[in-house]
């Protein structure tokens, strides 16, 4: 899961501390005090069988949005796949690189390498909630994907459609500025996915997933808007389809 920029301005980053420790407690906290426990231990572990089955479905070059500590990026890299993780957390990017993956400190809403050429975009571990506006996020992902590209999103285990402002905290006290977040079940995500073609939905290990495909007629890719360089994180031998500009 991604972390959130407002924490950097406060000097308090419980997410980075949890990654260093490899465990929680870590929560999303709503204004009414409700807490959602975050699965830090699972995120910091290696990809599990449910993760690996998801990754088996990936096509082409893969962009992991909100890659967190990088277990999925590392697993795909170990398979020899072209993959890049992005996260706004320096701690998450550093952790991903230590695992042998490639990652950039970047928001999904900022210019990114290979726009319009990614074969698969991943929104795992609740990252379908990034920005608190599912329609806006889906539009952005659609511009990142190649025509007929694949989005694989993990949805909430129950049917809900919630847009809230939350804090990230390792206690019951709020930390930093609140930020917008969304929690979506599968039916809600499909309602927002106008202009996408459903490509499958499944449940495994108590987790739920949806695959959506861009439509070739409506997804003529914009030219890449970024020439970002992944300096020490570059692949030693980039393949011809590597979508990260190295200039």
- Please check whether residue 236 lies inside any domain of the structure: no
Question: What is the model's pLDDT at position 111?
Answer: 97
For strands 103-105 and 35-37, give the pairing. unpaired
Under 8 Å CB-to-CB from 129, ≥6 apart: which residues?
Answer: 181, 182, 183, 184
- Please check whether residue 237 lies inside any domain of the structure: no
- Please check whether residue 246 lies inside any domain of the structure: no
Question: What is the model's pLDDT at position 245?
Answer: 37
Q: Domain range for residue 34?
A: 6-218
pLDDT above 60: residue 91 = yes
Rounded mean pLDDT, 156-177: 88
Q: Which residues pair with 203 in a beta bridge?
A: 208
Number of H helices, E strands in the chain: 8, 11
**Mean pLDDT value across the chain:** 86
Question: How far separated are the first and last CA of the chain, in Å rounded?
Answer: 29
Question: What is the model's pLDDT at position 12?
Answer: 65
Q: What is the pLDDT of residues 6-60, one digit of tens each?
A: 444 344 689 999 999 999 999 999 989 899 999 999 999 999 999 999 999 999 9
| Chain-centre distance for alpha carbon 61 | 15
Q: What is the percentage of the chain residues whose pLDDT exceeds 70?
A: 81
Question: What is the model's pLDDT at position 190?
Answer: 97
> What is the enclosing helix (H) or strand (E) of 191?
helix 186-192
- Please check whether residue 192 lies inside any domain of the structure: yes
Rounded mean pLDDT, 132-140: 98
Q: Exposed e or buried b for every residue in 28-67, given b needs 16+ CB within 10 A?
A: bbbeeeebeebebeebbeebeebbeebbeebebbbbbbbb
Rounded mean pLDDT, 113-135: 97
If one counts the domains in the chain, the total is 1
What is the rounded distance in angstroms from the CA atom of residue 21 to the CA atom of residue 40? 9
- Please check whether residue 114 lies inside any domain of the structure: yes
- Of 76 and 245, more confident: 76
> Considering all CA atoms of the chain, what is the largest pairwise distance in Å, rounded to the nearest integer?
51
- Please check whether residue 242 lies inside any domain of the structure: no
Neighbours of 164 (CB within 10 A): 18
Of 76-90, 113-127, 174-188, least confident by mean pLDDT is 174-188
**Where residue 1 falls among pLDDT bands split at 50, 70, 90?**
low
Under 8 Å CB-to-CB from 165, ≥6 apart: which residues?
Answer: 30, 31, 132, 178, 179, 180, 181
Asked if 32 and 196 touch (Cβ cutoff 8 Å), the reply is: no
Question: What is the model's pLDDT at position 5?
Answer: 47
pLDDT above 50: residue 4 = no
What interhelical angle do 14-21 and 90-98 show, nearest 10? 20
Provide the CATH number for the domain around residue 85.
3.40.50.150
- Please check whether residue 230 lies inside any domain of the structure: no
- Please check whether residue 200 lies inside any domain of the structure: yes
pLDDT above 80: residue 123 = yes
Of 105-109, 178-182, 221-225, least confident by mean pLDDT is 221-225
Residue 104: name the closest of 83, 131, 85 by CA: 85
Q: What is the pTM of this model?
A: 0.85
What is the rounded distance in angstroms from the CA atom of residue 16 to the CA atom of residue 176? 14
Asked whether the CA dihedral 5, 10, 15, 19 is positive or negative, the reply is positive
Give the highest mean pLDDT range of 25-34, 148-157, 164-173: 148-157
């Amino acid at each position: 899961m991604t972390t959130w920029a407002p924490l950097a301005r406060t000097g308090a980053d419980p997410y980075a501390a949890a990654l260093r420790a490899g465990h929680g407690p870590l929560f999303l906290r709503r204004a009414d005090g409700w807490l959602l426990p975050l699965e830090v231990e699972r995120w910091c572990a290696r990809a599990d069988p449910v993760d690996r089955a998801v990754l088996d479905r990936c096509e082409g070059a893969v962009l992991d949005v909100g890659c967190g500590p990088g277990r999925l990026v590392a697993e795909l890299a170990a398979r020899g796949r072209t993959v890049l993780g992005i996260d706004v957390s320096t701690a998450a990017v550093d952790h991903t690189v230590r695992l042998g993956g490639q990652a950039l400190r970047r928001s999904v809403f900022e210019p990114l390498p290979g726009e319009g050429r990614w074969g698969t975009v991943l929104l795992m571990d609740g990252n379908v909630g990034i920005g608190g506006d599912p329609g806006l996020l889906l539009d952005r992902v659609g511009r990142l994907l190649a025509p007929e590209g694949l989005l694989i999103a993990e949805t909430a285990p129950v049917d809900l459609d919630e847009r809230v402002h939350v804090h990230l905290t390792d206690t019951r006290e709020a930390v930093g500025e609140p930020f917008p977040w969304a929690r979506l079940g599968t039916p809600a995500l499909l309602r927002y996915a106008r202009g996408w073609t459903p490509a499958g939905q499944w449940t495994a290990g108590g987790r739920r997933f949806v695959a959506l495909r861009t439509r070739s007629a409506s997804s003529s890719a914009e030219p890449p808007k970024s020439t970002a360089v992944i300096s020490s994180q570059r692949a030693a031998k980039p393949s011809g389809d590597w979508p990260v500009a190295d200039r």
